[in-house]
Amino acid sequence: MPNVKAYFEKLFSAHGIEIPSKREKMFQNFIENEENRTKIKTILELQNTIMKNWKLDTRIRDIIEQQIQIPNGTVGKKYETKLDFIKLGLDDIIYSDFIGLEEYGLKYDNESEIINGTPIKNGDFKVKLNFRISGEEEDSILNEKTFNLIINADPKSLWKDIESNQEDPFWKADNVSEFQSIGDKNIVVASRRGRSHANVGSFRDDDYSFKHLEETGWSIVSVSDGAGSAKFSRKGSEIACKEVIHYFENKLTNELSLQFDTLVSDLNKENNKVVLESEAKENEDNEVENLADIKTETTKSKIGKFIYNNLGGCAKWVHNKLEEFANLNETYIKDFHSTLIFTLFKKYDFGYVVLTFGVGDCPIGILNKDLTEFKLMNWLDVGEFGGGTRFITMPEIFTSDKFVTRFGFKIIDDFSYLMLMTDGIYDAKFVVEANLEKLEKWKEFIADLKGENEDNAAVEFNVSNEEITNQLANWMDFWSPGNHDDRTLAIVF
């Protein structure tokens, strides 16, 4: 017990009572009186209780008033957050429980101090935390703290999906997908109208086409992205893709195909000869002229002319057909502005030959069988600061010095994937053009296609998979902030 005499003196003084010296002995006897001492002890205990209660009340009020922000959630997206009471300076909380989280699709675990679940409604909500702190009785009434909980709407739900006008003379389906065999390979392709178009009920500007030519053994795939600024680009992309097929159906005759077969077979033999001669003469002077090299260059030159004349001829054919269609409809070819990429591939006994053409900002990529090598088969018209896209409808592309560089040629033993896509895919998944040159980015892209994404959307590349078209179409509905353009992806596998 504290100094009793001092306590009594302070008590008497507080009441204006002074103890004269002649009453000192009486005062001492008063202090030592057992009854009085018991009462003082009771008073001190009550004071301690009062102070303890005050401190508890103050601490509870501090907790209630402390600003704590729970991370925002999103409807339909998995949510998990831990309330680390120690880091928050709330280590004196000995019991906690959130009330009402269930109605938002969430739950709270008192032991782990984790809120998790999948939010089912959006809004700015008030949720209550019942808690008890150290020092309170076990049966005391729980304290209540209110938290703000913000659940954002699923961004997808904010976009409208208005059907395009089927009465329009250039109407085409908003979303399409197909799966077929193509030669000894298979192709799955999907083309989806972008959210920006669906939101206002406008049209899908992308398009594609493909066909296997049984007589010659060549397979053809074309993809086109109509310019959003061109009022009839939806028709331009459709015409461009279809005319690629029409051109080669008529122009790639057996005779012409056999000419190329001879050239590419010669090239393959010469390449093999060069390798053998190089190994045999590896110790000779490097400046010794190799006749096989000269012959290879000659063969390559002939192949280059074949590609230029036929793939270049196809590009010019498409341009002319678009111009004819524009004139027929008394409008301008620029109203049909569209990019165009296409590939032809054929299997030989030594592997596959792949030919490509591209104008615009749509990439073509091919990966070998074990995913250890990759080649981007075309360069993209993206412009130094954007806005540099070129279209098959522009006559100047045919007179430009760059026209001869728009063609690709590759001999490959076998390939796992040959892909053609519009920028609605590559902008979101590759982000920048430079990533299209990186093998690891294409491997990440394939992993994404197979389900390594936040939606767990996967495509099973199996010929017996009856859901493959739906799977690709669903995968292409991925969310990417700022990327709401049409999406077209053709995969040969």
Answer for the pair 132, 145: CB distance below 8 angstroms, yes or no.
Answer: no
Per-residue exposure over 267-279, b if at least 16 CB sit within 10 Å of its own CB, e if not:
bbebbebeeeeee
pLDDT at position 384, please? Answer: 47
Q: What is the pTM of this model?
A: 0.77
pLDDT at position 37, please? Answer: 87
Q: Which two tokens stand for residue 195?
A: 């959210």
pLDDT lower than 70: segments of the chain: 1-2, 273-297, 383-387
Other CB atoms within 10 A of residue 7 CB: 15
pLDDT at position 280, please? Answer: 36
Fold entry, domain 73-156: Immunoglobulin-like (2.60.40)
Q: What is the pLDDT of residues 395-433, one digit of tens each?
A: 999 999 999 999 999 999 999 999 999 999 999 999 999
First to last CA, the chain: 89
SS3 string, 329-360, reads CCCCHHHHCECEEEEEEEEECCEEEEEEEEEC
- CATH number attached to the domain at 175-280+290-492: 3.60.40.10
Q: Which two tokens stand for residue 54?
A: 């005050």
pLDDT at position 270, please? Answer: 82
User: How is the chain split into domains, by residue range?
Assistant: 4-65, 73-156, 175-280+290-492
Per-residue exposure over 426-457, b if at least 16 CB sit within 10 Å of its own CB, e if not:
bbbbbeebeebeeeebbeebbebbeeeeeeeb
CA-CA distance, 422 to 424, in Å (whole number)?
5
Tell me which amino acid residue 208 is.
Y
- Which parts of 36-138 are beta strand (E)? 73-74, 79-82, 93-99, 106-109, 114-117, 123-133
pLDDT at position 45, please? Answer: 86
pLDDT at position 273, please? Answer: 59
